[in-house]
Homo-oligomer: A and B are copies of this chain.
């Protein structure tokens, strides 16, 4: 995704075009499901002066305007991905915390419909599939190496 495109996206959301914002968008373009801390690290590779707080502010601004989507699986810190407009869901590994995207199983509309809405006006259905990723589900009989190290869980 080129810089002019990113600028246009920001202007389209009535946001000023700034260096930290472009850097955050670029970082997310290359790293889906990044944490705030990871985004900060990526941004600082290009712009070491960017502050902690700026990344939080930028991510909040982008999230509230819909340019970026925030996900927060249990036990994980917040993660962000570029909103691509489609209604996709997530696979989360209970062991290593890795996340993969999946398209909505039933298409866009039906998965918005609970069986009984209790009077709620529903506008979004969020689905998280929990399980084990290929690596963590593999038999742990690796001859020379240790089983997959645990990451991301506290």
Residues of A within 8 A of B (CB): 70, 72, 74-75, 89, 91, 93, 100, 102-106, 111-134, 137
Contact = CB atoms under 8 A, between A and B. Distances in A.
A130 B111 CA distance: 12
20 contacts: A70-B74, A89-B114, A91-B118, A100-B120, A102-B114, A102-B116, A102-B118, A105-B113, A118-B133, A119-B137, A120-B133, A120-B137, A121-B132, A122-B129, A123-B130, A123-B131, A124-B130, A124-B131, A126-B127, A126-B129
User: Taking the full assembly, how many copies of this chain does it contain?
Assistant: 2
A74 B126 CA distance: 11
A91 B129 contact: no
A21 to B, nearest CB: 22
A115 B104 contact: yes
Contacts of A74: 70, 72
Given A102-B118, A118-B133, A124-B129, 10 more contacts: A72-B74, A89-B114, A91-B114, A91-B117, A91-B122, A100-B118, A119-B134, A123-B130, A125-B127, A126-B127
B122 A131 contact: yes
Contacts of A118: 91, 100, 102, 133-134
